[in-house]
Structure 1
Amino acid sequence: MSDRQGFILWFTGLSGAGKSTLAEYITPKLKDLGVLVETLDGDEVRQNLSKGLGFSKEDRDTNIRRIGYVANLLSRNGVCSITAAISPYREVRRECRELSEAPFIEIYVEAPLAVVEERDTKGLYKKARAGIIKEFTGVSDPYHEPENAEIVVHTGNESIEESGEKILAYLRERGLLPA
């Protein structure tokens, strides 16, 4: 058993809100402090653990439950598990929190729909608006905003550095980072 304190940083928010960018920003900072870190990026998990799943509510729930299961395995072994997936449904995020044996920190990466549509580097929102992509979160499928996230970052008007430092400050306050 590891003497390190594992924990889960559960990033949730619309596509393009900055979940993966924030994960990439804080990962090296955590590693510099000696924290073991693994990132479970939504796109990568879909490619490797959830291949064959579609985007129905049931398939999305299955994907998020898989992410939660792996994050729990890692965190109970002293790893900081960072999840960066839309995880649109509040109920399934709650299930993942309840499954966790380590501190579970939900981080709502909030950005207005207009902002994420403007950032739409992959053209997904355009395709969703055109009806090419069905069941797209925030357009034709709901996103349930967290009601009690431990941290809320506003990437529409905060820089990645400001949002990242807000997360690191919270982890220091909670005693989850080495002195």
Structure 2
Amino acid sequence: MSPYKTLQSEDKSTDVVWHQASVSHQDRVAAKGHQAAVLWFTGLSGSGKSTLANAVDKMLHERGASTYVLDGDNVRHGLNGDLGFADSDRVENIRRIGEVAKLFVDAGLVVSTAFISPFRADRAMVRGLLNDKQFIEVFVDTPLEVCERRDPKGLYKLARAGEIKHFTGIDSAYEAPSSPHLRLDTARHNVQQCAQQVIDYLIAQQIISAG
């Protein structure tokens, strides 16, 4: 279960008023020619989340879509640079990214996020920030043994040796999605095939056009 903790009333500022923008979300979507959405890639370290997110982003860019990729490692260099990898930090990491992704959607973009995001409750929390069709959970369903065999950053080896603590799949839990919008099997299909599945889904949901 997620240790996510909502802000208590005494933690929140009472002097903040929502400012209405002159350009609406609908205006921005109309100008871009496609719907806005979050492609939330979740899976174990080494499953292929970042690789797939970037492959999909390139395919969307080539179609003229307005896009961006929020990558777990990249975000921890700046916005989330103050967070560690304990469960509470992982939860705050996802909370912040959810809010940033929501802003990208409001701007009319298709934003791909590549985060382990191990807890179901936190992914549900992000889903709750968006409209029904704006959150697309993409489960990069790669078995632990395959991820560990790939080990592109050498992290599993360090985790097995006890040199990294709170590593998902080893000594920290990963709660797989029970009903993702898309399930990608990178152990059986290559990057291009998996990325095309995402594009096909976006077309079927009328988020982007087939042309």
Q: What's the TM-score, normalizing by structure 2?
A: 0.82
Number of paired residues? Answer: 179
Residue 178 (structure 1) shift: 2.2
- CA distance in structure 1 between the partners assigned to 2:138 and 2:97 by the alignment: 15
Aligned to 2:193: 162
Task: Give the counterpart letter for 2:160 in structure 1.
Answer: R
- CA distance in structure 1 between the partners assigned to 2:69 and 2:194 by the alignment: 18
Residue 30 (structure 1) shift: 0.4
Aligned to 1:22: 52
1:141 pairs with 2:169:
no
- CA distance in structure 2 between the partners assigned to 1:123 and 1:132 by the alignment: 11
1:114 pairs with 2:152:
no
Q: Which residues in structure 2 correspond to 1:19-98 (within 5 Å)?
A: 19-98=49-128
Runs of 4+ in 1 over 3 A off after TM superposition: none
- CA distance in structure 2 between the partners assigned to 1:24 and 1:52 by the alignment: 25
Q: Which has the higher strand share?
A: 1
Task: Give the counterpart letter for 2:41 in structure 1.
Answer: F
| Secondary structure, counterpart of 2:77 in structure 1 | helix
- CA distance in structure 2 between the partners assigned to 1:163 and 1:32 by the alignment: 17
Q: What do residues 67-104 of structure 1 show as CA deviations (whole Å, max 9, x unaligned)?
A: 11100100121101110011011100000000124610
Q: Give the number of the structure whose alpha-carbon radius of gyration is greater.
A: 2
Unmatched tracts of structure 1, length 5 or more: none
- CA distance in structure 1 between the partners assigned to 2:193 and 2:66 by the alignment: 23
Residue 61 (structure 1) shift: 0.4
Aligned to 2:154: 123
Query: Equivalent pairs: percent with the same residue?
Result: 44
Q: What's the TM-score, normalizing by structure 1?
A: 0.97
Aligned to 1:176: 207
- CA distance in structure 2 between the partners assigned to 1:178 and 1:78 by the alignment: 15
Q: What do residues 88-131 of structure 1 show as CA deviations (whole Å, max 9, x unaligned)?
A: 11100000000124610000001011100111021100111111
